[in-house]
Amino acid sequence: MNKLQDWPEPIVRVQSLSDSGMPIIPERYVKPPLERPSINSTISSDVNIPIVDLAGLYGDDHALRATILDQISVACREWGFFQVINHGVSPKLMDRARELWRQFFNLPMEVKQAYANTPKTYEGYGSRLGVKKGAILDWSDYYFLHYLPLALKDYKKWPTIPSDCREVLDEYGKQLVELCGRLMKVLSINLGLGEEQLQNALGGENVGVCLRVNFYPKCPQPDLTLGLSSHSDPGGMTLLLPDNHVPGLQVRKDKNWITVKPAPHAFIVNIGDQIQVLSNATYKSVEHRVIVNSSKDRVSLAFFYNPKSDIPIEPMKELVTPDRPPLYQAMTFDEYRLFIRTRGPSGKSQVESLKSPR
Protein backbone atom coordinates (compact mmCIF):
# COMPACT_ATOMS: atom_id res chain seq x y z
CA MET A 1 0.00 0.00 0.00
CA ASN A 2 1.25 3.50 -0.77
CA LYS A 3 1.34 5.20 2.60
CA LEU A 4 1.42 8.63 0.96
CA GLN A 5 -2.12 8.44 -0.47
CA ASP A 6 -3.77 10.79 1.98
CA TRP A 7 -3.35 12.73 5.22
CA PRO A 8 -3.89 10.65 8.35
CA GLU A 9 -6.15 13.29 9.94
CA PRO A 10 -8.33 16.17 8.71
CA ILE A 11 -6.19 19.15 7.72
CA VAL A 12 -6.42 22.28 9.86
CA ARG A 13 -5.12 25.52 8.34
CA VAL A 14 -2.78 27.23 10.79
CA GLN A 15 -3.84 30.57 9.36
CA SER A 16 -7.46 29.82 10.41
CA LEU A 17 -6.29 29.02 13.95
CA SER A 18 -4.35 32.27 14.05
CA ASP A 19 -7.22 34.31 12.60
CA SER A 20 -9.66 32.84 15.13
CA GLY A 21 -7.94 34.88 17.84
CA MET A 22 -7.57 31.89 20.19
CA PRO A 23 -5.25 32.81 23.10
CA ILE A 24 -3.86 29.26 23.52
CA ILE A 25 -2.49 27.05 20.77
CA PRO A 26 -3.87 23.52 20.37
CA GLU A 27 -1.84 20.75 22.03
CA ARG A 28 -0.81 19.40 18.60
CA TYR A 29 1.47 22.39 18.04
CA VAL A 30 3.16 22.35 21.45
CA LYS A 31 6.75 21.10 21.11
CA PRO A 32 8.51 19.02 23.76
CA PRO A 33 10.45 21.34 26.13
CA LEU A 34 13.88 20.60 24.60
CA GLU A 35 12.72 21.57 21.11
CA ARG A 36 11.19 24.89 22.14
CA PRO A 37 12.72 28.08 20.72
CA SER A 38 14.17 29.35 23.99
CA ILE A 39 16.64 26.46 24.17
CA ASN A 40 20.13 27.62 23.09
CA SER A 41 18.68 30.43 20.99
CA THR A 42 20.96 33.41 20.39
CA ILE A 43 18.36 35.78 19.03
CA SER A 44 20.00 39.08 19.89
CA SER A 45 23.62 38.13 19.19
CA ASP A 46 25.69 39.99 16.60
CA VAL A 47 26.70 36.73 14.96
CA ASN A 48 25.34 36.23 11.46
CA ILE A 49 25.93 33.74 8.67
CA PRO A 50 28.57 34.95 6.16
CA ILE A 51 27.54 37.44 3.46
CA VAL A 52 29.26 37.04 0.09
CA ASP A 53 29.18 39.76 -2.58
CA LEU A 54 29.14 38.01 -5.96
CA ALA A 55 29.68 41.24 -7.95
CA GLY A 56 33.30 40.43 -8.84
CA LEU A 57 32.76 36.80 -9.78
CA TYR A 58 32.81 37.39 -13.53
CA GLY A 59 35.05 40.45 -13.79
CA ASP A 60 38.72 40.68 -14.83
CA ASP A 61 39.99 41.09 -11.30
CA HIS A 62 41.42 37.61 -10.65
CA ALA A 63 42.40 38.36 -7.06
CA LEU A 64 38.86 39.47 -6.26
CA ARG A 65 37.42 36.36 -7.89
CA ALA A 66 39.78 34.17 -5.85
CA THR A 67 38.65 35.96 -2.67
CA ILE A 68 34.98 35.34 -3.48
CA LEU A 69 35.64 31.66 -4.17
CA ASP A 70 37.49 31.43 -0.90
CA GLN A 71 34.68 33.10 1.07
CA ILE A 72 32.20 30.61 -0.39
CA SER A 73 34.52 27.70 0.35
CA VAL A 74 34.85 28.71 4.01
CA ALA A 75 31.08 29.28 4.30
CA CYS A 76 30.29 25.83 2.82
CA ARG A 77 32.75 24.08 5.12
CA GLU A 78 32.11 25.96 8.34
CA TRP A 79 28.48 27.04 8.13
CA GLY A 80 26.66 25.17 5.34
CA PHE A 81 24.88 28.51 4.97
CA PHE A 82 25.70 31.92 3.51
CA GLN A 83 23.93 34.92 2.00
CA VAL A 84 24.68 36.20 -1.49
CA ILE A 85 24.23 39.77 -2.66
CA ASN A 86 24.75 41.21 -6.18
CA HIS A 87 23.77 37.78 -7.42
CA GLY A 88 22.23 38.84 -10.72
CA VAL A 89 18.56 38.18 -9.91
CA SER A 90 16.40 41.27 -10.34
CA PRO A 91 15.54 42.87 -6.95
CA LYS A 92 12.20 43.99 -8.40
CA LEU A 93 11.38 40.42 -9.35
CA MET A 94 12.31 39.21 -5.85
CA ASP A 95 10.00 41.79 -4.28
CA ARG A 96 7.14 40.97 -6.60
CA ALA A 97 7.50 37.22 -6.07
CA ARG A 98 7.32 37.60 -2.30
CA GLU A 99 4.47 40.10 -2.50
CA LEU A 100 2.35 37.92 -4.76
CA TRP A 101 2.61 35.05 -2.31
CA ARG A 102 1.57 37.37 0.51
CA GLN A 103 -1.45 38.25 -1.61
CA PHE A 104 -2.15 34.58 -2.25
CA PHE A 105 -2.11 33.67 1.44
CA ASN A 106 -4.40 36.60 2.18
CA LEU A 107 -7.06 35.34 -0.24
CA PRO A 108 -10.28 33.94 1.26
CA MET A 109 -9.87 30.39 2.54
CA GLU A 110 -12.27 28.89 -0.01
CA VAL A 111 -10.07 30.17 -2.86
CA LYS A 112 -6.94 28.62 -1.34
CA GLN A 113 -8.74 25.38 -0.55
CA ALA A 114 -9.20 24.78 -4.28
CA TYR A 115 -5.45 24.07 -4.33
CA ALA A 116 -5.40 21.76 -1.28
CA ASN A 117 -2.60 19.21 -1.58
CA THR A 118 -2.20 15.54 -0.71
CA PRO A 119 0.95 13.73 0.43
CA LYS A 120 1.09 11.89 -2.89
CA THR A 121 2.93 14.74 -4.63
CA TYR A 122 2.69 17.54 -2.05
CA GLU A 123 1.90 20.02 -4.85
CA GLY A 124 -0.48 22.80 -3.86
CA TYR A 125 -1.66 24.36 -0.61
CA GLY A 126 -0.57 22.39 2.45
CA SER A 127 -0.38 22.56 6.23
CA ARG A 128 1.78 19.63 7.29
CA LEU A 129 4.87 17.72 6.24
CA GLY A 130 4.79 14.02 6.98
CA VAL A 131 1.93 11.59 7.46
CA LYS A 132 2.57 10.24 10.94
CA LYS A 133 -0.76 10.02 12.73
CA GLY A 134 -0.77 12.08 15.90
CA ALA A 135 2.50 13.90 15.04
CA ILE A 136 3.22 17.25 16.68
CA LEU A 137 2.76 19.80 13.90
CA ASP A 138 4.52 23.00 12.90
CA TRP A 139 2.92 26.45 13.04
CA SER A 140 2.84 27.10 9.26
CA ASP A 141 1.01 26.61 6.00
CA TYR A 142 2.80 26.38 2.64
CA TYR A 143 2.46 26.12 -1.11
CA PHE A 144 4.56 23.66 -3.08
CA LEU A 145 5.09 23.50 -6.85
CA HIS A 146 7.45 21.98 -9.41
CA TYR A 147 9.52 23.77 -12.07
CA LEU A 148 11.72 20.93 -13.33
CA PRO A 149 11.75 18.40 -14.82
CA LEU A 150 9.27 19.86 -17.30
CA ALA A 151 7.30 16.60 -17.17
CA LEU A 152 6.37 17.49 -13.56
CA LYS A 153 5.64 21.17 -14.16
CA ASP A 154 1.88 21.47 -14.10
CA TYR A 155 0.33 24.93 -14.38
CA LYS A 156 -2.99 23.47 -13.21
CA LYS A 157 -1.36 23.09 -9.81
CA TRP A 158 -0.08 26.67 -9.73
CA PRO A 159 -2.30 29.47 -8.39
CA THR A 160 -3.96 31.75 -10.96
CA ILE A 161 -4.49 34.62 -8.49
CA PRO A 162 -2.86 37.16 -8.38
CA SER A 163 -3.19 37.43 -12.16
CA ASP A 164 0.55 37.87 -12.82
CA CYS A 165 1.38 34.77 -10.76
CA ARG A 166 2.41 32.44 -13.57
CA GLU A 167 4.45 35.04 -15.43
CA VAL A 168 6.33 36.20 -12.29
CA LEU A 169 6.94 32.66 -11.04
CA ASP A 170 8.23 31.52 -14.42
CA GLU A 171 10.71 34.39 -14.61
CA TYR A 172 11.69 33.83 -10.96
CA GLY A 173 12.36 30.15 -11.70
CA LYS A 174 14.42 30.98 -14.78
CA GLN A 175 16.64 33.52 -13.00
CA LEU A 176 17.14 31.28 -9.96
CA VAL A 177 18.04 28.22 -12.03
CA GLU A 178 20.73 30.36 -13.69
CA LEU A 179 22.04 31.49 -10.31
CA CYS A 180 22.09 27.90 -9.03
CA GLY A 181 24.06 26.87 -12.13
CA ARG A 182 26.63 29.60 -11.41
CA LEU A 183 26.92 28.55 -7.77
CA MET A 184 27.33 24.87 -8.75
CA LYS A 185 30.38 25.85 -10.82
CA VAL A 186 31.88 27.70 -7.84
CA LEU A 187 31.25 24.78 -5.48
CA SER A 188 32.70 22.35 -8.01
CA ILE A 189 35.89 24.36 -8.48
CA ASN A 190 36.19 24.79 -4.71
CA LEU A 191 35.97 21.02 -4.27
CA GLY A 192 38.95 20.67 -6.61
CA LEU A 193 36.77 19.31 -9.42
CA GLY A 194 36.19 20.47 -12.99
CA GLU A 195 33.72 23.36 -13.31
CA GLU A 196 30.86 21.17 -14.59
CA GLN A 197 31.44 18.08 -12.49
CA LEU A 198 29.15 18.78 -9.55
CA GLN A 199 26.27 19.80 -11.83
CA ASN A 200 26.83 16.63 -13.87
CA ALA A 201 26.77 14.51 -10.74
CA LEU A 202 23.33 15.98 -9.98
CA GLY A 203 22.12 14.91 -13.43
CA GLY A 204 23.36 17.75 -15.66
CA GLU A 205 20.43 19.52 -17.28
CA ASN A 206 18.00 17.03 -15.78
CA VAL A 207 18.05 18.41 -12.25
CA GLY A 208 14.80 18.71 -10.30
CA VAL A 209 13.67 22.15 -9.20
CA CYS A 210 10.76 23.04 -6.94
CA LEU A 211 9.50 25.86 -4.74
CA ARG A 212 7.99 25.77 -1.28
CA VAL A 213 6.50 29.02 -0.10
CA ASN A 214 6.15 29.04 3.67
CA PHE A 215 3.54 31.12 5.44
CA TYR A 216 3.98 31.47 9.20
CA PRO A 217 0.89 33.07 10.75
CA LYS A 218 1.29 35.04 13.95
CA CYS A 219 1.08 32.83 16.97
CA PRO A 220 -0.38 33.58 20.44
CA GLN A 221 2.23 31.35 22.19
CA PRO A 222 5.41 31.52 20.08
CA ASP A 223 7.57 30.19 22.92
CA LEU A 224 5.85 26.82 22.81
CA THR A 225 6.07 25.99 19.13
CA LEU A 226 8.11 26.31 15.92
CA GLY A 227 7.14 27.53 12.44
CA LEU A 228 9.28 24.76 11.00
CA SER A 229 11.01 22.09 13.06
CA SER A 230 14.71 21.50 12.89
CA HIS A 231 15.76 19.80 9.64
CA SER A 232 18.45 19.75 7.00
CA ASP A 233 17.25 20.14 3.42
CA PRO A 234 17.07 16.77 1.68
CA GLY A 235 18.05 18.05 -1.80
CA GLY A 236 21.15 19.55 -3.43
CA MET A 237 21.11 23.26 -2.60
CA THR A 238 18.46 25.75 -1.47
CA LEU A 239 18.07 29.45 -2.29
CA LEU A 240 15.86 31.04 0.31
CA LEU A 241 14.20 34.41 -0.16
CA PRO A 242 13.38 35.38 3.43
CA ASP A 243 10.75 37.80 4.63
CA ASN A 244 12.03 41.37 4.30
CA HIS A 245 10.49 42.54 7.58
CA VAL A 246 10.26 39.61 9.96
CA PRO A 247 13.21 37.47 11.11
CA GLY A 248 12.62 33.82 11.98
CA LEU A 249 15.20 31.51 10.40
CA GLN A 250 17.66 30.00 12.87
CA VAL A 251 20.75 28.03 11.85
CA ARG A 252 22.53 25.59 14.10
CA LYS A 253 26.11 26.55 14.90
CA ASP A 254 27.67 23.98 17.21
CA LYS A 255 25.21 23.77 20.10
CA ASN A 256 23.57 27.16 19.50
CA TRP A 257 20.83 28.49 17.27
CA ILE A 258 21.83 31.67 15.42
CA THR A 259 19.03 33.89 14.15
CA VAL A 260 19.83 34.92 10.56
CA LYS A 261 19.78 38.64 9.84
CA PRO A 262 18.97 38.88 6.15
CA ALA A 263 20.82 41.48 4.06
CA PRO A 264 18.63 43.55 1.70
CA HIS A 265 17.81 41.62 -1.50
CA ALA A 266 20.06 38.75 -0.52
CA PHE A 267 19.38 35.08 -1.07
CA ILE A 268 20.23 32.70 1.74
CA VAL A 269 22.08 29.74 0.22
CA ASN A 270 22.34 26.43 2.01
CA ILE A 271 23.90 23.08 1.24
CA GLY A 272 21.47 20.15 1.19
CA ASP A 273 22.00 16.50 2.13
CA GLN A 274 22.76 15.43 -1.47
CA ILE A 275 25.76 17.76 -1.74
CA GLN A 276 26.92 16.58 1.67
CA VAL A 277 26.84 13.04 0.24
CA LEU A 278 28.45 13.92 -3.14
CA SER A 279 31.21 15.91 -1.42
CA ASN A 280 31.81 13.02 1.00
CA ALA A 281 31.01 15.41 3.85
CA THR A 282 33.50 18.11 2.83
CA TYR A 283 30.41 20.30 2.77
CA LYS A 284 27.75 19.88 5.44
CA SER A 285 24.02 20.29 5.20
CA VAL A 286 23.26 22.13 8.39
CA GLU A 287 20.17 21.95 10.57
CA HIS A 288 17.89 24.93 10.64
CA ARG A 289 14.45 25.79 11.98
CA VAL A 290 12.01 28.68 12.05
CA ILE A 291 10.62 30.53 15.05
CA VAL A 292 7.34 32.44 15.00
CA ASN A 293 6.12 35.52 16.82
CA SER A 294 2.91 36.96 18.22
CA SER A 295 2.65 40.14 16.18
CA LYS A 296 3.53 39.50 12.53
CA ASP A 297 2.95 36.90 9.82
CA ARG A 298 6.06 35.82 7.93
CA VAL A 299 6.56 34.62 4.33
CA SER A 300 9.59 32.88 2.83
CA LEU A 301 10.28 31.29 -0.56
CA ALA A 302 12.50 28.18 -0.50
CA PHE A 303 13.78 27.24 -3.97
CA PHE A 304 15.13 23.70 -4.02
CA TYR A 305 17.78 22.61 -6.57
CA ASN A 306 17.82 18.82 -6.48
CA PRO A 307 19.42 15.88 -8.28
CA LYS A 308 17.67 14.07 -11.11
CA SER A 309 15.45 11.93 -8.99
CA ASP A 310 16.30 8.43 -10.25
CA ILE A 311 20.10 8.40 -10.37
CA PRO A 312 22.19 7.00 -7.52
CA ILE A 313 23.80 9.73 -5.43
CA GLU A 314 27.00 8.72 -3.68
CA PRO A 315 30.35 10.29 -2.76
CA MET A 316 32.15 11.42 -5.94
CA LYS A 317 35.10 9.17 -6.65
CA GLU A 318 37.51 12.14 -6.84
CA LEU A 319 36.63 12.92 -3.21
CA VAL A 320 37.22 9.41 -1.93
CA THR A 321 40.76 8.50 -0.89
CA PRO A 322 42.28 5.70 1.19
CA ASP A 323 42.35 8.19 4.09
CA ARG A 324 38.80 9.26 3.46
CA PRO A 325 36.72 6.28 2.35
CA PRO A 326 33.15 6.83 1.11
CA LEU A 327 31.08 7.91 4.10
CA TYR A 328 27.68 7.19 2.55
CA GLN A 329 25.90 4.49 0.62
CA ALA A 330 24.29 5.28 -2.74
CA MET A 331 20.62 6.18 -2.86
CA THR A 332 18.36 7.90 -5.41
CA PHE A 333 16.69 11.15 -4.46
CA ASP A 334 13.28 9.53 -5.09
CA GLU A 335 14.04 7.04 -2.31
CA TYR A 336 15.65 9.63 -0.10
CA ARG A 337 12.84 12.18 -0.06
CA LEU A 338 10.23 9.57 0.84
CA PHE A 339 11.67 9.82 4.32
CA ILE A 340 10.83 13.51 4.92
CA ARG A 341 7.56 13.09 3.05
CA THR A 342 6.60 10.33 5.45
CA ARG A 343 8.11 11.41 8.76
CA GLY A 344 8.25 15.18 8.35
CA PRO A 345 11.24 17.33 9.37
CA SER A 346 13.48 15.48 11.83
CA GLY A 347 16.88 17.05 12.27
CA LYS A 348 19.71 15.27 10.46
CA SER A 349 18.54 11.77 11.20
CA GLN A 350 18.17 10.75 7.58
CA VAL A 351 21.58 11.67 6.21
CA GLU A 352 23.07 10.07 9.32
CA SER A 353 21.22 6.85 8.47
CA LEU A 354 22.99 6.70 5.08
CA LYS A 355 26.39 6.36 6.75
CA SER A 356 28.33 3.41 5.37
CA PRO A 357 28.68 0.53 7.81
CA ARG A 358 32.18 0.31 9.27
Ligand X SMILES: O=C(O)CCC(=O)C(=O)O
**Interacting residue ranges for ligand X, rule: CB under 6 A:** 212, 214, 228, 233, 240, 242, 248-249, 288, 290, 300, 302
| Residues 343, 337: Cα–Cα separation, whole Å | 10
The CB-of-240 to ligand X minimum distance in angstroms stands at 6
The CB-of-285 to ligand X minimum distance in angstroms stands at 11
Residue 8 phi, psi dihedral angles, 5° rounding? -75, -15
Given the complex with ligand X, which of 68 and 251 has the nearer CB atom? 251
List beta partners, residue 298.
216
Given the complex with ligand X, which of 16 and 244 has the nearer CB atom? 244
Q: State the maximum Cα–Cα separation within the chain, in Å, rounded to a whole number.
A: 60
| Residues 327, 305: Cα–Cα separation, whole Å | 23
The CB-of-281 to ligand X minimum distance in angstroms stands at 21
The CB-of-289 to ligand X minimum distance in angstroms stands at 7
Given the complex with ligand X, which of 185 and 218 has the nearer CB atom? 218
The CB-of-107 to ligand X minimum distance in angstroms stands at 20
Given the complex with ligand X, which of 43 and 66 has the nearer CB atom? 43
| Residues 128, 90: Cα–Cα separation, whole Å | 32
Given the complex with ligand X, which of 276 and 300 has the nearer CB atom? 300
| Residues 254, 262: Cα–Cα separation, whole Å | 21
| Residues 191, 241: Cα–Cα separation, whole Å | 26
Nearest to residue 125, comparing CAs of 209, 2, 7, 31? 7
